[in-house]
Structure 1
Amino acid sequence: MSSTLAADLLPWFDRHGRHDLPWQAATDGRRDAYRVWLSEVMLQQTQVATVIPYFLRFTDALPTLPDLAAADEDRVLALWSGLGYYRRARFLHRAAQLCVERHDGELPRDFDALAALPGIGRSTAGAILAQAHGLRFPILDGNVKRVLTRYHGIEGHPGQSAVEKQLWERAKAHTPHERVADYTQAIMDLGATVCARSRPLCLACPLTETCVARRDGRTAQLPTAKPGRTLPTRATTMLVLRDAQGCVLLERRGPTGVWSGLWSLPEAADHDAAWRLAQTHAQLDDAQPLTPFVHVFSHYRLNIEPLLFDGATAHPAIADNAGLRWYARDAWPDLGLPAPVRTLLESLAHEPQRS
């Protein structure tokens, strides 16, 4: 296969690529593998502009892999809070611990050992080895899939196994033997800034002369869209039990399911069930319905109806424990809270309590 893609792409990257991202800082010409890894995990299903402040906050608090391994899960989830897809953070934490246990506190440079760590698949492992060590491994994230699909005119949804296999073959063939780190960043940059999902900037693309989708006028049809489906809707009532000092009762969610391991508000199926559950946790007088809102996950929509119980008095029998605690406002920043729950609590913190 021709190396036209890499040959055309690298000069474009030198002039127009992103060279000042915080995880690109290098020492002796090499990027830090921990920072590359962290950025790759954060960038999964999340845009660069969103990731940068989270990355800076995370690396300021946990600057090295051993620091991450030694942190408790609440600290890791608190730093991740707002990025979503929290399983990424738990995999990150566990992988760091395994690196300390098995690899002297560093990410392994062996591909199979690296890809075997939790949350590190083929593409992430390739990105780490290419960008941190200059090793020739291909990557295939969403941006790269879009570039290669259009460049080669590949039909079919990229998530289908047969299509993905073909894309991996193309990705491997195009990866050069030199400047691998630059090429890896370049093809990701091209997909993120030029070969966009909608309204690609074909006139600014260095591959426009050899791109099949551009030649055939099919950039709007490629990549082939995933077969559509309607998101199911679920509903829940969240209990906001707040005592006279402004402390709120939070419950740690179980090890599986949505928001697993995070601290959240107790939930019930409806207002009647919410009242019954609230009375098992505290003495209270009345409840105030708050404005309902919707939170959209990748696989369903959740209709949330918050119910505020102000001036609640904790039952003596309900002592703080590993799964149920009263937390003051100044403790919330250090907790792993789902983004909508954090937003809800912060909005209430600025309102006076009902007498």
Structure 2
Amino acid sequence: MVESTRIVLASRPVGAPTPANFRIETVELPPPAEGEVVLRTLYLSLDPYMRGRMSAAESYASPVEIDEVMVAGTVAEVLESRDPSLAEGDVVLAYSGWQSHQVVPAGAVRKLDPDKAPISTALGVLGMPGFTAYSGLLKIGQPKAGETLVVAAASGPVGSAVGQIARIKGARAIGIAGGPDKVAYVRDDLGFDAAIDHRAPDFADQLRAAVPDGIDIYFENVGGAVADAVYPLLNTYARVPVCGLIANYNAADVPEGPDRLPAFYSRILTKSVTVRGFIQSEFVKEMYKDFLRDMSGWIADGSVRYREDIVEGLENAPEAFIGLLEGRNFGKLVVRVG
């Protein structure tokens, strides 16, 4: 029998998650049936969407139930296989969650080639975050040469890819990040045309100065005060792919202050702005093969760069996830499990 250490949802958070919302336990796994494989988790992805899955509120996916394993994409090694398509030692992309081992159907995983790219990138620039950037930007944002794009959380896995792809397509890329180190990384390492610290007291003025011709595409990752500064600068026919609203994920009450929705709707109407929420999975059949081809090529030729923030040990996943929601990570947050 194989034992699995796993982290389950112990209680639903009210406001920001705390360590008390998680519980570590060890269970014995059943032996694999025909067509199944036993996996040992090597890397675990931590992503903002997991905060929504901790809530019972209506969303695009079912919530994690109390006492269930927290959901997550993983890179894993096959320990035992009862399916001819996979062999012991193969490395696969799975969705096995916050646990050290799992038994899954062989058809639920995708085999990876460790010789083509570091296997952790299957959870980042060559995985769901990278595809989120690629599909949302190209399908909804539709960048054109000479246009101006703004993206917040620009040092993260989605925002960094969005800005670099926009530049490949000939657009100007303005990145918004938190703190001088992240701003310097976005501007100097990733090659954005400008980078702005959203914590600066004159942030709104700096943003306006960086986009003298207005904003044609705003890739929405954050919401909150960043969105408040962006929306008055949207041009006629601007496009706003809505990917995430991390500034609001831990909100327990309705935000204080005036209702900004009428002004937002007025901007949409008067400027003929397109605002489109999306979940990357809706574009998989149409765009995933192109994504793997294009992104692999861009990484190989240096057009796209990436950064990973690797945390050691499954037991540290809850604290790392809490830090993610506070912006403490720098790059794609990954837990090295095995």
Fold shared per TM-score above 0.5 = no
What TM-score does the superposition give when structure 2 sets the normalisation length? 0.24
What TM-score does the superposition give when structure 1 sets the normalisation length? 0.23
* Greater share of strand: 2
Higher Cα Rg, which structure: 1
* Greater share of helix: 1
